[in-house]
Structure 1
């Protein structure tokens, strides 16, 4: 006998949890399916990732009741950004002064966002969690979705949502192909202390043979991101703390002084994903399953929240009008809008990442010239600042 629900969400990451919470007051019954334990959701471990949030994303999180679950001390203002090329001290500077805000956005640790989203969902009576389970079969037709779990439970729903990462097994089970680009690089993230202030400015440093990023946290701490080929990354991950501190300080040319590791180190493959379709019968993709961005713009979760807002708005409008909230025309409107919101930046980011990771002589000349030109064009810088802030 099947359990009935209105919406089933596969994946209890931040996007899946936020989507469920967005429908908590809609009158729908939502079930979230997650292979991890409930303890891993209620007390997520530090995973190295700091999430840059735009003003629009922060507003959405406030509307969802998630922002209030995060300590103000854990929210770091992101005031400005600097982009470096090679060994030059010259940078293209993007400042909050080019917007009408006192900062470009905010930085919050990913595990804290996950915990806040879980806490908000856990207090919503319309949402049920199924943890420590996996999906073994999915079938959808014009009227419903049928999900079978490895514990034998069968859930029948009107709408199925895939929110299970950029490597989504749900997407594959639904027969949706995706353009996937493996950059052949590994990204290492950790938190470092340093004696020189970052002045709440983010760095993106396209050095030769490596890409470095620095995301300013409160105090004299920063989230450090180093991107290297896997064979170069392996020794860095295995270094003892003293050698690692010296190595990272040197890679940053001691611009922030002697840096000291104050967290665990985490490594992730650098892979971007963009599916051929975002929807199917009674089915939609959200979060990284819908758009797996390159981290250079730190915009992945912002796109995830945009998708959540777009789809939940369509669903609520349909409910208010007494219409089918999972009809194909409704899902198609979501797909079209989310593509318009994400596709241009996805392609532009992809192109920038390829150019600025190339060490060929023509690429080096272009890289240096482009930064200097961009720094002199005030309307361009204002446009970039406005985009990064996404202040509506």
Structure 2
């Protein structure tokens, strides 16, 4: 990585997985890129286990493979998903999603978030055109026809032709750019941990919409699953505070023994549920990618995949403009980026919100609608096959 400088072609605010993948997409060009990240360099270089397992579609795997990140992730951390089941309350009926008949390929793969971050960081640090500015955050942005002037928390000022916000669904950079967003704090949290269990999962994921909770059982290595409980924030915090024995007793009860006897295989983590939809995905000399643009509810597991798609779309347009000696912050180019991302993300975003509303309702009409909806989907193969195809595209 290069030494200190104040002038760049592109400044990326946020070194999460999407920000890192965006920088990696540009790393082989001659563009000078700065990444501004509040976390210390040591934490970026050695990301800790955070509980999150990312469900990757084949499109996302192709992107990571092109960047060199997929092959850098050890095979033991790539868990195939051979099928998925959706359950509702105490009903024994399950909506099933499976690979096409005769296909030997799984629906997708589960990979730990920290492993994706680690593999992308290792790519970034190999390239001299990317400079990491860790331990700092963006506190001011000024745009002009010449580009963006970015003020950091230590008082330093950087200039760039293009500023890219990749700093979470509660993006400070987005706010500084004056871009409004629908930010929905849902009042719920996800509690995540890995468990060892006596019953086999057969590499089948389960999404169970039960009363006042949603449980996801994600198959990892043999005899181990990642359990995600979506609960009111206060209830999630209560469970987090229990000792291991009491926590396992309550977890087993909530899962109704579906996995048999369980023991903890990791630390526990909680994350508040927040969804975001930015009103615009670009401004003068600036663009949004990842959760700063679209922050999905995790129930359909597509948030990271949309984020990875967004960075690829923007990076491809920037590299094309650079090759053709055009402005990398051209407003028409940024508008085309927004149009493409909005077209691909909007259906999933609004359909997911509709699904969450239906499956979080506890009144009798909602319960009946869930029951009827699952059975209708099961008896209309094009629905199940369409969703399976979307996962595998």
Partner Cα distance (1:160, 1:100) in 2: 43
Q: 1:143 — aligned with what?
A: 146
Give the secondary-structure state (helix, strand or coil) at the position aligned to 1:346: helix
Secondary structure of 1:340's match? helix
CA–CA separation in structure 2 for the residues paired with 1:68 and 1:190: 26
Q: Which residue of 2 aligns with 1:205?
A: 208
Q: TM-score, normalised by structure 2?
A: 0.97
Which of residues 307, 322, 325 in structure 2 aligns to 1:322? 325
Q: Which residue of 2 aligns with 1:57?
A: 60
Decide whether aligned partners of structure 1 residues 183 and 152 sit closer, same or farther in structure 2, where only a CA change above 3 A counts: closer
CA deviation profile, 1:251-308 (whole Å, cap 9, x unmatched): 1110110111111111111111101111000100001111100000111110011001
SS state of the match for residue 97, structure 1? coil
Partner SS for 1:137: strand
1:301 aligns with 2:304: yes
1:227 to 222, 230, 235: 230
How far apart in 1 are the matches of 2:388 and 2:368? 25
Task: Note the 1:253-268 alignment, pairs <5 A.
Answer: 253-268=256-271
Task: For residue 295 of structure 2, give the secondary structure of its aligned residue in structure 1.
Answer: coil
CA distance in 2, matches of 1:234, 1:4: 45
Map Cα deviations across residues 88-117 of structure 1 (whole Å, 9 max, x no partner): 121100001269561111101111111111
Structure 1: distance between partners of 2:153 and 2:315 = 29
Q: CA–CA distance in 2 between the matches of 1:2 and 1:45?
A: 30
Residue of structure 2 equivalent to 1:173: 176
Which deviates further from its counterpart, 338-347 or 97-106?
Answer: 97-106
CA distance in 2: counterparts of 1:77 and 1:139, whole angstroms: 46
Quote the residue 1:349 is aligned against. 352
Q: What SS does the aligned partner of 2:273 have?
A: strand
Q: Report the 3-state secondary structure (helix = DSSP H, G, I; strand = E; otherwise coil) of the residue aligned with 1:19.
A: helix
Separation in 2, partners of 1:153, 1:100: 55
User: Is the contact between residue 98 and residue 382 of structure 1 (CA under 8 Å) also seen in structure 2?
Assistant: no
Could you report, residue by residue, the CA deviation over 1:191-227 in whole angstroms, capped at 9, with x for unpaired residues?
Answer: 1111111111111110011110111111211110001
CA contact (8 A) 1:99 1:386 kept: no
Find the partner of 2:293 among 270, 290, 309: 290
Deviation at 1:2, TM superposition (A): 7.2
* C-alpha distance in structure 2 between counterparts of 1:52 and 1:162, whole Å: 23
Query: How far apart are the structure 2 equivalents of 1:132 and 1:148?
Result: 14
Kindly indicate whether residue 195 of structure 2 is the aligned counterpart of residue 192 of structure 1: yes
Matched with 1:86 is 89
CA contact (8 A) 1:187 1:269 kept: yes
Q: Is the 8 A contact 2:138 2:172 kept in 1?
A: no
Does the 8 Å contact 1:246/1:258 carry over to 2? no
Does 1:386 find its partner at 2:389?
Answer: yes
TM-score by length of 1: 0.97
1:17 paired residue number: 20
Matched, 1:372 2:375: yes
Q: Choose which of 145, 150, 155 in structure 2 pairs with 1:152.
A: 155
Give the deviation of 1:181 after TM superposition.
1.6
Q: CA deviation at 1:153?
A: 2.2
Matched-pair contact (CA < 8 Å) for 1:69–1:120:
no
The 3-state SS of whatever aligns with 2:382 is helix
Q: Which runs of 4+ in 1 moved over 4 A?
A: 98-101
Structure 2 CA distance for aligned equivalents of residues 68 and 152 of structure 1 = 39
SS at match of 1:148: strand
Do the aligned partners of residues 253 and 302 (structure 1) sit closer, same or farther apart at CA in structure 2, a change above 3 Å counting? same
Instruction: In structure 2, list runs of 5 or more residues that go unmatched.
Output: none
Distance in 1, matches of 2:103 and 2:143, equals 47
The residue aligned with 1:106 is 109
Answer yes or no: is the 8 Å Cα contact 1:98–1:385 preserved in 2. Answer: no
Q: 2: CA distance between counterparts of 1:151 and 1:233?
A: 36
How much does 1:136 deviate? 2.4
| Pair 1:360-2:363 in alignment | yes
1:40 is aligned to 2:7: no
Task: Please give the alpha-carbon distance, in whole angstroms, between the structure 1 residues aligned to 2:104 and 2:291.
Answer: 28
2-structure distance, mates of 1:361, 1:98: 37
Q: Distance in 2 between matches of 1:2 and 1:65?
A: 27
Deviation at 1:148, TM superposition (A): 1.5
